[in-house]
Amino acid sequence: MLSSPATLLVLAAMAVCMLLGVQQFHRRVLLVRLQGILGVEPDESPFAATRVLQWIGSRIPGASDESLQTALAKAGFFQPSALPIFVALRLVCTIGAFFVVLLKAASIEAATLMLAVFLAFFCSRVFVILLKAKAERRERLLRRELPSVVDLLLMVLNSGISIDQSLRYVAGMLGQTAPLSTIVLKRYVADIDSGMPFDAAFERMGQRFAINEGYDLAHLIKQSLLQGGEIMASLESFGAELADKRVSMAREQIGRKSVMLTMAMLAFFMPVLMITLGGPAVSQIMKTLTTVQHELQSRKVHHR
């Protein structure tokens, strides 16, 4: 069996490998995006660590899970290799957690095996929970950004330029105000510059938004651009609807925080209040019971 320093060394090596894998994956993503913007054919040979993870993940049945693919898209991972890499990372960490528990134990018993299985399952679920949390956070941020995007798009369209030029201008303007929406719009511009048809580019834009409001915005612009029609009134009503949804979300969050504040007050103030109000009465009752007990004991002694 391995000693405790050896176990810490194994954990440190696993952490370093995970960090290197994430860094290599981000470098690969940035390289593919740069090649797409420059019009260069993307290199299909990823880095060594990413290639190994992608090879492992592509041979796991979970790498074809459409629900997991949708969750990754909602979290902002649109690359085809994101799903096998995610599955491979989860598998490696799950197996690592299982064997770390076995190597750390002095002897392999039934309780040790149960603990190893539980920690491995917990590690596997942590990946899914973190992915869903990232997807929910991105969804909230996109819903917060879209009203500003629509308002700026309306302002640009009022100047008389086309929809495509308006989207390009908005993609260059919204750097800090709406970073997530800026990424989606810049990828739309890159798709158009690379020769992709408008209908396919708008479909991909809606998929990259990965929320209902983003799909509606992309479909609205595509319909107006390809089939004709007045877009200003539709965008104004759509922007007003987004603003109303944002206000309702803010009210919902305020109500939720009010309930949480009430629960916190009940948890911290009610015990103090009960002690303050009931403490003297309880103290008096205890004194009375102690006096009665002493009297009963003195009577028993006297009768003897």
101 pLDDT above the threshold of 80: no
Of the chain, the percentage scoring pLDDT greater than 90 comes to 0
Q: Give the mean model confidence (pLDDT) for residues 269-296.
A: 81
Q: In this predicted model, what pLDDT tens digit does every residue of 212-222 receive, in sequence order? A: 888 888 888 88
Q: Which residues contact 206 (CB under 8 A, 6 or more apart)?
A: 214, 215, 217, 218, 219
The pLDDT score that the predictor gives to residue 96 is 81
When the pLDDT of each residue in the chain is averaged and rounded to a whole number, the result is: 76
Cβ(124)–Cβ(118) below 8 Å: no
Q: In this predicted model, what pLDDT tens digit does every residue of 11-70 receive, in sequence order? A: 666 677 667 666 666 676 676 666 665 554 444 444 555 666 666 666 676 556 677 777
CA dist list (Å): 11 to 4, 19, 107, 110, 126: 11, 12, 20, 23, 17
Q: Which of 89, 84, 26, 29 is nearest to 57 (CA)?
A: 84
227 pLDDT above the threshold of 50: yes
Q: Give the mean model confidence (pLDDT) for residues 164-172.
A: 81
CA dist list (Å): 182 to 34, 76, 208, 213, 224: 16, 13, 11, 15, 21
Q: Give the mean model confidence (pLDDT) for residues 75-101.
A: 79
CA dist list (Å): 113 to 18, 106, 120, 246: 25, 12, 10, 49
Q: Give the mean model confidence (pLDDT) for residues 255-265.
A: 80
Q: In this predicted model, what pLDDT tens digit does every residue of 47-64 receive, in sequence order? A: 555 666 666 666 676 556
Phi, psi dihedral angles at 161 (to 5 degrees)? -90, 170
Question: Which tokens sit at 243?
Answer: 């603003």
Q: Give the mean model confidence (pLDDT) for residues 180-188.
A: 84
Asked which of 200-214, 223-237, 262-276 is least confident by mean pLDDT, the reply is 223-237
Q: Give the mean model confidence (pLDDT) for residues 103-132.
A: 80
Asked which of 40-49, 91-100, 166-175, 265-274 is least confident by mean pLDDT, the reply is 40-49
Q: Which of 118, 117, 40, 46 is nearest to 84 (CA)?
A: 46
Compute the distance between CA of residue 239 and CA of residue 148 in angstroms, rounded to an integer.
9
Q: Give the mean model confidence (pLDDT) for residues 149-176.
A: 80
Distance of CA 214 to the CA centre of its chain: 18
7 pLDDT above the threshold of 70: no
Compute the distance between CA of residue 101 and CA of residue 79 in angstroms, rounded to an integer.
34
- The pTM of this model reads 0.61
Q: In this predicted model, what pLDDT tens digit does every residue of 237-249 receive, in sequence order? A: 877 888 787 788 7
Per-residue pLDDT band at 168 (split at 50, 70, 90): confident
Question: Which tokens sit at 280?
Answer: 């003297």
Q: Which residues contact 81 (CB under 8 A, 6 or more apart)?
A: 28, 46, 50, 54
> If 0-12 CB within 10 Å is exposed, 13-18 middle and 19+ buried, where does residue 291 land?
exposed
